[in-house]
Amino acid sequence: MPANDTAELLKECNSGIKMGIDSIDELLPKVRSAKLRNILEECKTTHQRLGTESHKLLERYSEPTMDPHPIAKGMSWLKTNIKMAVEPNDSTVADLITDGCNMGVKSLNSYVNRYENADEEVVKLTKQVIRSEEKLCADVREFL
């Protein structure tokens, strides 16, 4: 069922974008380094652009948006707040971002493989999100 694969991949992609933006928003106020702040803001801008693209595709396919799973969001919030309470520094921010990016890349690649009949346009968008996550992970390494 290609239409179903397309819709499912698109919803997961959109949800992943939201999760990434939410995570960056949660960490930005805690960042001390101007360079790290710029890296995160650049990635957020990219995610917002990709999010707009995903919304247009969702509308085209008459599909609703999908929020990140509440348990995943809650676990992310808990981990972020515990780690930042123990070590409130840019290294911790970079560590949390790296973990989040790795989780996002793993999940989105899994969805691309699972929904193998999805339209190429949606696969391409998902791969752009994956590349953005990989870039962010590489960009924050110097702060680990």
We report the CATH number of the domain holding residue 11 as: 1.20.1260.10
Q: What confidence score (pLDDT) does residue 3 get?
A: 60
Percent of the chain with pLDDT over 70: 98
Domain count, the chain: 1
Question: Going by C-beta distance under 8 Å and a sequence separation of 6 or more, which residues neighbour residue 16?
Answer: 68, 104, 107, 108, 129
The residue range of the domain holding 139 is 2-143
Q: Which two tokens stand for residue 58?
A: 């969702």
pTM over 0.75: yes
Better-scored residue on pLDDT, 69 or 51: 51
Confidence check: pLDDT of 12 > 60: yes
Q: What confidence score (pLDDT) does residue 64 get?
A: 87
Q: What confidence score (pLDDT) does residue 8 get?
A: 96
